[in-house]
A and B are shown apart, each in its own frame.
Chain A
């Protein structure tokens, strides 16, 4: 045997790794960063609609999330992209004119109390971005429901962007209303085309249904989100609101309005599908989505708030452990479920 061959057969550099020795194409890090990437058009749209304030608000929320993860998270956990995604999503749920310090605080709270306290990525029960959003909503209800009018130009600073920490802005912003607010409190409906393209008032990321649907479709195609969740949410919202609209057309809006107004698209595609906080089983995904859809309709039509997507998702997040227990797959060769 030649020396070359002997060298080539030397066992010293062989790795001993447990099977399987092949690895599928999916990677947690890639999933997170891809989701971030599909949000770029949505962010761009927000900037186009609401001006540079939009970018600053999103940046502040992201900084809050990433900074908290860096300070209190496990070493290297920033690289998985989940904290950045949380911050980005939180930013997209905020109005353009919210003071930057609030966005930062929301990001920090969401990551700190919504994620790190549970042990970090994968362990949390509630969607951290929505925990941050719900905290801000409860803490600063007025700032969080002050909606600058979109389409006022690129370089406009909206509202209270530069308010000093802990202080309110006090700027007299030109404010508009969201389509849902108009519907709930003034019984004015918004044309469908505006809803679909996103030229209406609202949170930074909730206005363009089109871009969100495109991003979601790509993620579903790559299996980076469970398509059953958005499909069941949207189907239940459409079905319930159509039925209610049929009974009382004057009192309740129809399905197109319900689907394309408010944060439903962003919530259904990007928030409810957060893998960590949604059911692990497919049957559970259907139930979970249906529950979110039903709660959204309940809160929007009969609740005190114009919008209920955030609360619907948080409430169903709380039910996920329950749903997971109830929908375990039936184990091969048994009549029984994997977990009881």
Chain B
């Protein structure tokens, strides 16, 4: 029975939703390089973990690829100038998450050729895993799928844990986004090369690339270019959101569930976004750090949807202007996909390393704002990929019962938004869960600090 179910599940996970994918707007648009803007803004906080430490001063000249910020600690990466020019200031600047962040502003030198300084390209096959990791860290590589988790951390499995499978995430389940799709289509050999490096670094011999079936050309391209000496399998997954979430992808590909609160390594896998893999490959091909990335600019609110190679730090304003600007009925500018992306109120916010797309929605797509009471239809239970009861959690959130929510596994919620998407009453469930999770985390942090302040042994009572 179990195996039968697994067979049926192969290429998918249970629950999830099917929003219209709208990939057709940009899927066939080749990646184009966007011209350098007048000004680049590089926030020092672009990745999960500690922000980078500032290395430059106003007035200083930087070349393309120079470090402007250094990694601060293990879970952190450096930040590099994505264009040559002069540092005009280190200011508080609008960050795409809605806050302000300390950012290095660089006035791009219009006369520069923007060719990076010549660098040594390390011969990857001579390096031991630690050196590979250092190189990856030094190049500032983070997960390009959106979470921006420093990649080198993932390349070092914890002591005593073996990696069976390297899982390459090419699902790209967010509607509109096609940047990963284009990478797989246009640079399959780069993907395979990146896999080769990672496999060696992780000491694993097997890799699986998971791609949703709505990208048959990418699947075919990848399959056709698999190097003979590598055990790489390309699996076509059923189209479903949130296929691209790590745990869902692992479930879909291996049939195994990552235990609650644990990491993919606990089921012998490491998941890496296909864009990050290509970025790793680039380090060892060109020696350049991560200073530009492929961004899908799409949505009905954009005049000319495109896939662009954009210097990190380019302001949304400039990217959108390059795409012909917004249509008159544009209503929402999102950084990331429409399911989990962050709404932008200030177009001066820059493209970050983790920015996979800029989607502009019009009033027609924007969801209705009138919220009705929960009618317990249960659609959210059918949608939740981690099998929570969002209906109940929502009622508890409204009553302010965060303790009950935690008991009911709030912390397993990954905020994918599936519940809000299907909710016929427009209840902002995932937003309420995000708030609750934040409050719970703060509370836990406070408790931890209080315990620490009490000193060893003294915190027991709390």
Contacts and interface: CB of A to CB of B under 8 A. Distances in A.
A247 interface: no
Contacts of B375: 28, 31, 82, 121-122, 275-276
Contacts of B368: 23, 27
Contact of B388 (A31, A279, A329): A329
A20 B386 CA distance: 17
Contacts of A324: 392
A19 B258 CA distance: 25
Contacts of B386: 331-333
Interface string B394-415: 0000000000000111001000
A338 B392 contact: yes
B320 interface: yes
B412 A122 contact: no
A31 B246 CA distance: 34
Contacts of A24: 17, 19, 379, 421-424
A166 interface: no
B424 A31 contact: yes
Interface string B323-334: 011111011111
A334 B17 contact: no
Contact of A21 (B347, B365, B379, B388): B365
A1 interface: yes
A19 B343 contact: yes
B344 A14 contact: yes
Given A20-B417, A21-B332, A22-B338, A333 B259 contact: yes
A275 B343 CA distance: 33
Nearest to A18: B431
Interface in A10-34: 11, 13-24, 26-31
A288 B64 CA distance: 66
A152 interface: no
Given A20-B430, A331-B260, A331-B409, A280 B392 contact: yes
Given A9-B317, A11-B346, A21-B343, A338 B366 contact: no
Contacts of A137: none
A20 B412 CA distance: 18
A138 interface: no
A226 interface: yes
B382 A282 contact: yes
A333 B412 contact: yes
Contact of B424 (A28, A276, A277): A28
B361 interface: yes
B428 interface: yes
Given A22-B175, A275-B377, A328-B389, A14 B421 contact: no
A332 B430 contact: no
A20 B378 contact: no
Nearest to B257: A333
B373 A121 contact: yes
A155 interface: no
Interface in A119-176: 120-123
A279 B434 CA distance: 26
Interface in B292-339: 303, 317, 320-321, 324-328, 330-334, 338-339
Nearest to B409: A331
Interface in A191-234: 223, 226
B343 A15 contact: yes
Given A28-B425, A332-B387, A334-B412, A17 B343 contact: yes
A338 B378 contact: no
B385 to A, nearest CB: 7
Given A11-B346, A28-B372, A226-B378, A18 B430 contact: yes
B175 A27 contact: no
Given A121-B375, A282-B378, A19 B262 contact: no
B381 interface: yes
A333 B367 contact: no
A287 to B, nearest CB: 14
B332 A17 contact: yes
Q: Which residue, of A14, A276, A282, A332, has the highest number of chain B Cβ atoms within 10 A?
A: A332
Contacts of A20: 338-340, 417-418, 420-421, 430
A16 B361 CA distance: 12
Main secondary structure of the interface of A (DSSP, over half): loop
A21 B286 CA distance: 38
B341 A21 contact: yes
Contacts of B346: 11
Contacts of B328: 8
B50 interface: no
B388 A80 contact: no
A152 to B, nearest CB: 39
A23 B367 contact: yes
B216 interface: no
B60 interface: no
A34 to B, nearest CB: 11
B254 interface: no
A19 B260 contact: no
A339 B372 contact: no
Nearest to A120: B373
Contact of B260 (A5, A13, A334): A334
Contacts of A26: 377, 379, 422-424
Contacts of B377: 26, 28, 31, 275, 280
A330 interface: yes
A128 B320 CA distance: 53
Contacts of B332: 14-17, 21
Given A11-B345, A19-B340, A5 B417 contact: no
Contacts of B431: 18-19
Given A9-B347, A23-B367, A15 B381 contact: no
Q: Which residue, of B260, B389, B391, has the highest number of chain A Cβ atoms within 10 A?
A: B389
B374 A122 contact: yes
A22 B367 contact: yes
A313 to B, nearest CB: 15
Contact of A123 (B175, B373, B421, B424): B373
A278 to B, nearest CB: 8
A190 interface: no
A105 B263 CA distance: 60
B451 interface: no
A139 B137 CA distance: 78
B247 interface: yes
5 contacts: A4-B325, A19-B338, A21-B343, A21-B359, A332-B385
Given A5-B321, A82-B375, A275-B377, 5 more contacts: A8-B303, A19-B338, A19-B341, A31-B375, A282-B381
Counting from the closest, the 6 A-B pairs by CB-CB distance are A20-B417, A23-B367, A122-B373, A8-B325, A332-B386, A18-B431
